[in-house]
Structure formats: structure tokens, C-alpha cells
Amino acid sequence: MSLLAPEALSLLFLLGFLLLGLHRRRPKARLPHPLVPLLREAAREARGPLPWLPTLLFALGLLLLALAAARPLLPLPGRGGGGVAILVVDVSRSMMATDLRPNRLEAAKEAARTFLQEAPPGVRIGLVAFSGFAQTLQPPTRDRPRLLQSLESLEFGRSTAIGEGLLEALRLIREAGGRGEILLLTDGRNRTGADPLEAAAEAARMGVRIFAVGVGVPGWTPGPEDPVSGLGFLAGAFELDEELLWSLAAFTGGQYYLVTSEGDLSALYRELAQGLRLEARTAEATGPLGLLGGFLALLGLTVRRYLSPA
């Protein structure tokens, strides 16, 4: 809990003085009298059970009123809390390459499964796939089984549009409240669509960090048995634009990673999942606390008036 006006807590000193005044000690009788013990017993019986209840209610009410004056901000439970993370996965045909086993795309799927298992339950996760265009496979959700089903639906496409993938992820984050992080995975360079750097500029304006993951083994080229060897246009299997991915991460306050094995990819996704920021939405509780405090203070006065002796 945070306070917008913490100086208002100084009202608690007034509350303390008021309570001291309510509990001032009564002067003792200076002259002994044989009826004094009997009168004290009668007074105790007249006060009834829980003689301290009116004072307690009144003090609690004043305490809540002082807290309300300090304008506290409280986290919202349930659907309002939690962060948003968007997995943006390259599904271009170069992801068929087998330098990561069984191939780059299947290794990415396994790493994404690890991410879903390790991410905090309160985080909403979305899935975007891109090749020559971007497609939302799953808007941000906490439904992990549905996300796993969406992972299995990933299919290969032509070309690579990194900027389009980022813009689609930003659209999802904007619709989910405007706060989140993007985990981008690709093995190539941008060939079509929007400029990725312009998408990164928009992410920076929104406060969205991009964690860029490049996959592939530098220097590795496909053999005759590798699926990508028959694509014709692919001169080599490692065409990762590391400079671009580093720029996307640095521009938004994220980080760039180069991963050259399926085991390292899963370990990285586990680390990123455990480091996710949870953005809890807050709401000012001045109104509810003020109403409750006022009610308790009036209730204490009422109990003192009607249940205490005159």
C-alpha cells in the first residue's frame, strides 16, 4: 500500500490525545465512606458487558478517517492485477533448420512450454506468430492449456516481417491495459512489412520492453538431408540480423540473447519467465475508508449514548 498524502497521518497524534482525554483517571474519593465499595460495584454492573466497546469503535473509526485523509492506494485483486507478456515467434521457413533439434521451431515450442510453466500464475500471456505477416494466435490470457493448444497450431510461412510481429504484440498489450513485455524469437532478418525500429520506438513510448532472442548456430549450413536445403533461395542457414535485435532490445530497455542450442533456449525462457514484472493496478481507497471510518465513529457514539449509564 502506498499513500498519496502521507502528511495526513499526523492526524493520528490528535487521535492519541483524544483517547487520553476519554480515558482520564477519575479522582479518588478523599473522604472514606462506608457506601463507596457498594457504589463502585453498582457502577460496574450498570456499565454492562464490554464497557470498552464504544471507545474502541470510535477510535477505530477515527483511525480509518485518518488513513482515508492520507489517500491510500491499494492493489486491485482478481482480473485487474498481473502483468502481460507476449510471445512473438518467427515461423518463416528457415525455422525448419535442424541446427537446433529437432528443428528451430520445435525447439522454440519446447522453450515456450517451459515459459508457460515457470511464469507467475497472475501473468497474462499472449502468442503472436509472424512470417510475411503477423497473426494473433492467442490474446493475453491466464489459461495455460489454451496457450499450449495455440503453440501446437504454429505453421511455417514465407518471408520475415519482424516489425509486423512487434506491432501486433503492441496492439495486444494496448488492449490489455498498456503495460507489458515482449519476448521476440527469430532466426533471420526483416524482409518485409513495417520497420522494426519504428515498432521499437512505439514500444519505448508505451514503456514496453523487448527481449530479443536470436536462434541458430553461426557458420552452420544445411546438408543435403536438411529441409531448408531445398528452399533454393536460402544461401545459408544463419542469416540472423544481430545488430537489429540488439537495437530493438537496447532501445526499449530489454536485452538481446543469441541461443545456439535447444537446451540453452529452454533455460533462457525459464529465466525470463521467472523475472517477469507483475504490474498490479491500484485504486485509491479514500472513499470506502472514509465511509467506513465515519460509520464506526458514529456507531461508537451511539453505543456509548444508549448502552452506557447517563
Give the pLDDT confidence of 223-256 residue by residue, as tens digits: 777 887 766 545 566 789 999 999 999 999 999 9
pLDDT for position 43: 53
55 lies in the same domain as 122:
no
13 lies in the same domain as 154:
no
State yes or no: pLDDT of 287 exceeds 50: yes
Please give the residue that has the higher pLDDT: either 14 or 286: 286
State yes or no: pLDDT of 269 exceeds 90: yes
- The 3-class SS string of the chain reads CEECCHHHHHHHHHHHHHHHHHCCCCCCCCCCCCCHHHHHHHHHHHHCCCCCHHHHHHHHHHHHHHHHHCCEEEECCHHHCCCEEEEEEECEHHHHCCCCCCCHHHHHHHHHHHHHHHCCCCCEEEEEEECCCEEEEEEEECCHHHHHHHHHCCCCECCCCHHHHHHHHHHHHHHCCCCCEEEEEECCCCCCCCCHHHHHHHHHHHCCEEEEEEECCCCCCCCCCCHHHHCCCCCCCCCCCHHHHHHHHHHHCCEEEEECCHHHHHHHHHHHHHCCCCCCCEEECHHHHHHHHHHHHHHHHHHHHHHCCC
129 lies in the same domain as 56:
no
Please state the domain count of the chain.
2
7 lies in the same domain as 122:
no
Identify any residues that bridge with 87 across adjacent strands, giving them in sequence order: 127, 183
Mean pLDDT, range 206-224, rounded to an integer:
90
154 lies in the same domain as 26:
no
84 lies in the same domain as 70:
no
Averaged pLDDT of the chain: 83
- Of the ranges 23-27, 50-54, 177-181, which one carries the lowest mean pLDDT score? 23-27
pLDDT for position 241: 93
pLDDT for position 85: 96
State yes or no: pLDDT of 211 exceeds 50: yes
Please give the residue that has the higher pLDDT: either 26 or 255: 255
258 lies in the same domain as 119:
yes
Q: Is 104 left (phi over 0), alpha (psi -120 to 50) or beta?
A: alpha
Grid coordinates representing 283 are: 485504486
222 lies in the same domain as 179:
yes
Mean pLDDT, range 43-62, rounded to an integer:
68
Domain membership of residue 264 as a residue range: 80-274
91 lies in the same domain as 46:
no
109 lies in the same domain as 234:
yes
Cis peptide, bond prior to residue 102, ω within 30 of zero = yes
| CATH code, domain with 227 | 3.40.50.410
pLDDT for position 173: 96
Mean pLDDT, range 143-148, rounded to an integer:
96
Please give the residue that has the higher pLDDT: either 57 or 134: 134
Grid coordinates representing 134 are: 503477423
The residue with cell 525447439 is: 107
68 lies in the same domain as 90:
no
pLDDT for position 77: 47
8 lies in the same domain as 69:
yes
State yes or no: pLDDT of 278 exceeds 80: no
Mean pLDDT, range 171-186, rounded to an integer:
94
Please give the residue that has the higher pLDDT: either 61 or 192: 192
- Highest-confidence segment of 30-34, 91-95, 170-174: 170-174
pLDDT for position 267: 96
- Highest-confidence segment of 5-14, 158-167, 215-224: 158-167
pLDDT for position 80: 38
The residue with cell 495455460 is: 144
pLDDT for position 48: 53
Q: CB within 8 A of 66, min separation 6: which ones?
A: 8, 9, 11, 12, 15, 293
